[in-house]
Amino acid sequence: MNRYAEILIDMISNAVDRPFHYRIFPEFSNSIKPGMQVTVPFGSRSCQGYVLRVLDHTPVEKLRDITAVVDPEPLLTAEQLALIHWLAMRYYCRKIDALHALLPASFRRGGSPFKVEVLELVHQACEANLNRAPVQQKAVRLLKEKGPLQRRELIRLGISAAVICSLEKKNLIRKNRVLSIPQRRTTEKKPTTPRLLSEAQAECFNRVCRAIDNPQPQRILLHGITASGKTEIYLQGIARCLELGKTALILVPEISLTPQMIEHFEGRFPGRVAVLHSRIRGAEKNRQWQMILSGEARVVLGARSAIFAPLNDIGLIVIDEEHETTYKQEEAPRYHARDVAWWRARRHRAVLLLGSATPSLESYYQASIGNTQLLSMKERVTPTQLPPVTVVDMRRELKEGHRHIFSRVLLRELEGVLERDEQALLFINRRGFAGFVLCRECGFVVRCPSCDVSMTLHLDSGTMRCHYCGHEQEVPQTCPQCGGHKIRYFSAGTQRVEEEMKKLYPDVSLIRMDSDTTGSRNAHNYFYRHFREGKASILIGTQMIAKGLDFPNVTLVGVVAADTALNLPDFRAPERTFQLITQVAGRTARGPRGGKVIVQTYHPSHYSIRAAAAHDYNAFFEEEIEKRRMLGYPPFADMIRFLFSGEEEETVMAAAAWFTEQLSLLGLPGELLGPAPASLYRIKGFYRIQTILRGDNLVPYAPRIRKIMQEYHSRKPVWPVRLAVDFNPQVVL
Ligand code: ADP
Ligand code: ZN
């Protein structure tokens, strides 16, 4: 009987984003398994593909044969195959994009790179039959004694290539590929000793252990203020998993994956930690993977994509700083590591431990309705206090004749820091480039009446637009709230802050850290060390520098313009502001000298700023969750963003309009917003137009939405317009 295989073609193209059926050559009939990499004819050429399923029947009539098997062992596990399917459905991506996210490129070029080809005996091979060929006899004896050997090893033992060849012809030996054993790096290092847990830590740790021992998958949110000692709980939780013979996976934001952090984990589990992040490439990446596959590494520490690490028998998955936007991938597959983690935790019946001082609204909401266990730590574990936060009203500064970007309070505090030879951090929001219109006299910002996001200024038309729903209006000449005339475009960047600082203190050494200055591989670590060693007094940067910094000599943190975060044209702007202030505040008062935080804003009464200044997460959550509920934003609805981009404005608009029309015919639950120009309307010559679908539980509609996508991609002539679909985007600009 013939058998068939459903094959995923390894080609990045929407046209081949469906399984193709091939006939399995009878000779392979029993050896082809799901997950194997194979070669198949495709059109006039030959392609790599992956076996998704083996079938006994196929409705397809004209079938071609699988040409070759790249590796006799499946490259993809059953878990990976299931995950590829889930990623493609959930995040509206091509299956091949999902597969590529799961496997390093080196694996796709001809099977696992850790496999070596060996020669082994076929069962019935027997020296007796080779009486008249003593060298062949010797070869068979060697293979019997030593087990499978590589060709060159046999040759070194005195067996010529010709002899090997004739044994193969007689079907006495055959080729096989086996996992090569990595050389064990014996570490003499003694593991660092676990710390004695504080009472609050012990309480949380016990609950984590109980969850690990429980065979049901569980999700726990560890809400612990900065420096409450969450890391120690992760470390001891991991140790518990290892004792039980299980493995553990820990994710941290890319930027906090510093050498210090890595040393911390390797120190506790010497020789057993594999590290994966985007700067680890090539041979080093292969080595880390081999450690995981061979079982040598039972702990994986990494950034977002490490969530795909091929660990077996996972007992614990930790996501530190779970609220971070970097856990969402911004290109296909546009997955959120937290959701993938929960998918894997369920499959492995493991514990998902989410840690943060400022949990995402989504996670805290899940805890508030009992879907996630909530653990909290409200005190610092070190004998230090959270710093006092002073909110400076920039409107008053202006009224009192002080127009500088640094308020008088901030300047006074900075001088104190410099006099005492301490250090200061100054923050600017990274996404400050999306401009908004602000009244400098009363702080008023123009917002969309229906979406409640700030409206974006479009310089070409001279109007303001809501980039969710498309609502458009004139730029006001006077402030609608106070009638003032100082209503204008607002922006502030790190460079500007640096220039102003240099004017004020020409002799003080400064470091500026943002994506421009830390682009190179080791720049971040260099600046980090430089500042830590006290070689600069002031560090100016975007919030990315806030992560994981631990400088005891920092006694002042200034947020130069909280408004850039607060007025992002994004419904998560208040959440980001609260997180930003809380996180940066956590960077000071870590030493015996204490510390202070100064937040400058035109909107001092805003609940995010007030709650952050009071270190009160719950107050913030209560306000924000009510607003989300009223406006129908996540976690009360799902959002799907369809972003169209292309070089010709009209075609982009036409494509977006066609697509939106098709969506509207589906009768989906919820609202269809747009098409509207994206907040960043032109990037590198591409016009960007988006449609947002917002509704309660859109997941069941995925197949119908995908169908429209397929139709969109197969329309002739094909639109010269890219379509990017993002399920529950973290950033909508
Ligand atoms: P978080 O991740 O909650 O912000 P950390 O894990 O960074 O906090 O801990 C803050 C500091 O407290 C670190 O320097 C850590 O080494 C220290 N620490 C953690 N647990 C203990 C403990 N039980 N006893 C003493 N120091 C601790
Ligand atoms: Zn709107």
Q: For 626-648, what is each residue's pLDDT tens digit?
A: 999 998 899 999 999 999 999 99
d(CA 719, CA 644): 10
Angle at 612 between CA 618 and CA 730, to 5 degrees: 80
Cα distances (angstroms) measured from residue 244 to each of 298, 408, 549 = 12, 58, 33
Q: What is the pLDDT of residue 519?
A: 58
User: Which of 589, 248, 566 lies closest to 387 in space, CA to CA?
Assistant: 589
Q: Average of pLDDT values for 171-179?
A: 80
pTM of the full predicted structure? 0.87
DSSP code, position 588: S
Q: What is the pLDDT of residue 305?
A: 94
Q: Average of pLDDT values for 366-373?
A: 96
DSSP collapsed to 3 states, 250-287 = EECCHHHCCHHHHHHHHHHCCCCEEEECCCCCHHHHHH
DSSP assignment of 519-583 equals -STTHHHHHHHHHHTTS-SEEEEEGGGGTT---TTEEEEEES-HHHHHT-SSTTHHHHHHHHHHH
What kind and span of H or E run contains 424?
Answer: strand 423-428
Q: pLDDT, tens digit, for every residue of 208-217?
A: 999 999 999 9
> Which of 64-73, 489-498, 612-621 tops mean pLDDT?
612-621
Of ligand 1's listed atoms, the one at least distance from the Cα of 231 is: 6
Q: Average of pLDDT values for 34-57?
A: 93
Nearest CA to ligand 1 atom 4: 227
Q: Using the structure block, give the residue that is written with the tokens 């990037």.
A: 683
Is the pLDDT reported for residue 406 higher than 80?
yes
Q: pLDDT, tens digit, for every residue of 443-464?
A: 888 888 887 888 877 766 778 8
What does the mean pLDDT of the chain come to? 88
Nearest CA to ligand 1 atom 17: 229
- Given phi > 0 = left and psi -120 to 50 = alpha, else beta, which region is 295? left
Residue 544's pLDDT band, with cuts at 50, 70 and 90, is: low
Is the pLDDT reported for residue 190 higher than 60?
yes
Q: pLDDT, tens digit, for every residue of 79-105?
A: 999 999 999 999 999 999 999 999 888
Q: Average of pLDDT values for 325-329?
A: 93
Report residues whose beta carbon is within 6 angstroms of any ligand 1 atom: 195-198, 201, 224, 226-232, 381-382
Residue 123's pLDDT band, with cuts at 50, 70 and 90, is: confident
Cα distances (angstroms) measured from residue 264 to each of 231, 257, 270, 301 = 10, 11, 10, 11
d(CA 488, CA 511): 30
> Which of 27-41, 237-251, 447-461 tops mean pLDDT?
237-251
Q: What is the pLDDT of residue 185?
A: 61
User: Which of 104, 588, 99, 111 lies closest to 302 in space, CA to CA?
Assistant: 104
β-strands 456-458, 299-302 pairing: unpaired
Q: What is the pLDDT of residue 109?
A: 79
Q: Average of pLDDT values for 239-244?
A: 96
Is the pLDDT reported for residue 64 higher than 70?
yes
Share of the chain above pLDDT 90, in %: 49
Q: What is the pLDDT of residue 181?
A: 60
d(CA 585, CA 388): 9
Q: What is the pLDDT of residue 476?
A: 86
Query: 465 C-alpha vs ligand 2 centroid, how far in Å?
Result: 8
Q: Average of pLDDT values for 274-284?
A: 85
Q: What's CA 94's distance to the chain center, in Å?
A: 18
Is the pLDDT reported for residue 178 higher than 80?
no
CA dihedral 434→440→446→451, nearest 10 degrees, is 70
> Which of 41-55, 57-71, 128-142, 459-473 tops mean pLDDT?
41-55
Check: CB of residue 695 under 8 Å from CB of residue 666. no
At 199 the three-state DSSP class reads helix
The more confidently predicted of residues 70 and 627 is: 627
What kind and span of H or E run contains 51?
Answer: strand 45-55
Straight-line distance from the first to the last Cα atom of the chain, in angstroms, rounded to the nearest whole number? 56
Is the pLDDT reported for residue 286 higher than 70?
yes
Of ligand 1's listed atoms, the one at least distance from the Cα of 230 is: 3
Nearest CA to ligand 1 atom 2: 230
Is the pLDDT reported for residue 349 higher than 80?
yes
Is the pLDDT reported for residue 343 higher than 90?
yes
Question: What domains are defined for the chain?
Answer: 3-108 (3.40.1440.60), 115-179 (1.10.10), 199-377 (3.40.50.300), 389-434+492-627 (3.40.50.300), 435-490 (no CATH), 638-727 (3.30.70.600)
Residue 161's pLDDT band, with cuts at 50, 70 and 90, is: confident
d(CA 725, CA 91): 8
Query: 286 C-alpha vs ligand 1 centroid, how far in Å?
Result: 33
Q: Which ligand is nearest to the CA of 454?
A: 2
Query: 447 C-alpha vs ligand 2 centroid, how far in Å?
Result: 8
Residue 112's pLDDT band, with cuts at 50, 70 and 90, is: confident
The more confidently predicted of residues 18 and 218 is: 218
32-46, 122-136, 163-177: which has the minimum mean pLDDT? 122-136
Q: What is the pLDDT of residue 73?
A: 81
Q: What is the pLDDT of residue 672?
A: 93
Is the pLDDT reported for residue 110 higher than 80?
no
d(CA 21, CA 64): 8
Residue 154's pLDDT band, with cuts at 50, 70 and 90, is: confident
Q: Which ligand is nearest to the CA of 469?
A: 2
Nearest CA to ligand 1 atom 7: 227
Nearest CA to ligand 1 atom 9: 229
User: Which of 595, 592, 627, 623 lies closest to 610 in space, CA to CA?
Assistant: 623
Q: What is the pLDDT of residue 432?
A: 41
Is the pLDDT reported for residue 485 higher than 90?
no
Q: pLDDT, tens digit, for every residue of 554-587?
A: 899 999 988 888 888 889 999 999 998 998 888 8
Q: Which ligand is nearest to the CA of 673?
A: 2
Query: 444 C-alpha vs ligand 2 centroid, how far in Å?
Result: 17
Q: What is the pLDDT of residue 260?
A: 81
Residue 458, token pair as written in the block: 């479009």
112-121, 137-146, 403-412, 530-539: which has the minimum mean pLDDT? 112-121
Q: Which ligand is nearest to the CA of 252?
A: 1
For residue 259, with 0-12 CB atoms within 10 Å meaning exposed, 13-18 middle and 19 or more buried, which class applies?
exposed
Is the pLDDT reported for residue 492 higher than 60?
yes
Q: What is the pLDDT of residue 150?
A: 86
Residue 556, strand partner residues: 424, 596
